[in-house]
Structure 1
Amino acid sequence: MRLFRRGPKRDPRDLARDGEFTFFSEREGGVFRSQVRQAFAEQGLEVTAYAGVVTDSAGRQFGLGNLAAVCHRDRRGERSWPALIRDHVGKVLRTMDGPQPLDVLSEDEIRACLFPRVVAQETLPASDSFRYGRAPAPGLREVLALDLPEAVQMLSEDSLAELGDVAELRIRAMNNLRALPVEGHETVRRGDGSAFEVLLGDSFFTASRVLVLDELVQRLMGTELTPDGALVALPFRHQLAFHRIHDAQVIPALQAMAQFAAAGHEDAAGAISPRVFWWRRGVMTPLSRLDGEGLRVVADADFQAVLERLVQDDA
């Protein structure tokens, strides 16, 4: 997975946009939904397509958001969509119609594929199914999930009740997260002298490694975080960006990472957050936000004090 690459050929931005997925033009949105219907038909299911979901005759709903983002971002353009959509639909139906993992896997097998996953709170159902999850930062939720061959299954509170104590399960999940290999690591350098690191990977838990950031930085950089911590961004599930705070270069790095996070989050599959956070001893404080006036960097009194001290130290 490369961080920067030539984008696919897309319809011009000045064409009318799709009402649900604004990264598509109206034409692209129509082509996408038509191909989704065709893929389900090939599996023997007739579905009705709505703006963001399709439904079958049994009333089951299949969300289209992540699949639309995957198609949009594929560098091969529209010619890749039919295969991507058929593959996705096949996996979804096999997962839904096949044996449920908790019914067929042994306890050891379940624990071996158990991971913590950081997701956007807004992507979870409104029910209390995931109320057990920690909130590592405003708008984010940490839940437990199974990393299966063809899917990642997030576990509800009811599911966990059959597996054991949540705290003990999280310990095992965190150990599994620590053991993941580093799939890709790039350093982004800007002309203003700022730099930050980006961890990339096909794993759905790449961004979730923010939960073990201090250990990850030591592993990648060969040095520990300072007491001031780090800037972090997790725009979507396959990327984690960070900057180790140790001098006044944190200021341009914050600006650069704010742009990086907002752009990466905009049309990504598995989008998590467009914000940059200040990570310090496991606590994440938002430092940027998108509002009606655009992208803004915000700093509380504690972070402002850190900036002033670092600037003075570099003077």
Structure 2
Amino acid sequence: MLADIIKYLACPVCAREMWSAGDTLRCAEGHAYDVAKQGYVSLLVGSRTPGTADSAAMVAARAEFLGTGHYAPLADALAESVRLRIVGANGREDDAFRRDRFSALPDAAAEKAYRSAAVARGAGTARQDADHAPEPVIVDAGAGTGYYLAAVLRAVDRGIGMAFDVSKHAVRRAARAHPRAGAFVADVWRPLPIRDGVADVVIDVFAPRNGPEFRRVLRPGGAVMVVTPAQAHLSPLVQELGLLSVDEEKERRLARSLEGFDETERRTVEFDLELSPDEIAGVVGMGPSAWHTEATELTERISSFLSRFAVKKREKVTAKAAFHLSIFEASPRSRAVP
């Protein structure tokens, strides 16, 4: 699948286009990036991995928990939202649907930019009708194990996914998440190694948000879909275990991080979780509290909680999952690529 994705990449050093040379990606300036045996490519500039990268233990906890299907309702909601952005009622993208579902292209210049992007994406000629539309491109910024991107690609019959995460441990798993996905080590806080105006949708699930870069890589009419925890998420575990909670400033930080975008739609996704003691440890271990609390202390808190409520090893504890799924589109005054 990597061969189908290279045309959308940009060298992280010089921003030139890239091509495949055996087990290496190269650009015209001579920069080269090896394809790992697990199928991913590190496009991280510099020799040091940022301290925000998830450890192997955190990634393993996330993969095990997600593998149980507890967050499947969230993955399904995100996948359906992306599908509705990309395909019409007849199962394919067309101009009428694009103008209805996306913010209408504002003028002839924007339409020309859209069609130019289609050509650059390998369409061969400017798009004349929906049957010859270029493949949808979904970018997952901070993809983790690729769990949510895989759900999206299963919902969208055509198209490819590009998973970016700063953790090589996560990207190794993301490389195997779906046959139409490519996985890359990259820091979302830095310029993304993606060409201008090629992404139909950027998804961001519990990850950093780089608003200027999201605007740059999105095509006209594209959207950013952001998932954040709601105030009620993981109650009563947050209170009982002393976990980090959603603070009142989170909404303001979200808006600031996506300056130049308008939030055009929001929905709340809520469902109950029935968690075993091991699964409680898993959901805690993959969350932000794992960064700010020693593992031994978290283990002690969980054990104390289970003892207080006399929860046995095979018994379940009910907790609430609560998320905001928000759709952002470029503001009319800032739709032009900066």
TM-score range relative to shorter protein: under 0.3
User: TM-score, normalised to structure 2's length?
Assistant: 0.24
Q: Which has the higher contact order (CA 8 A, sep 6+)?
A: 2
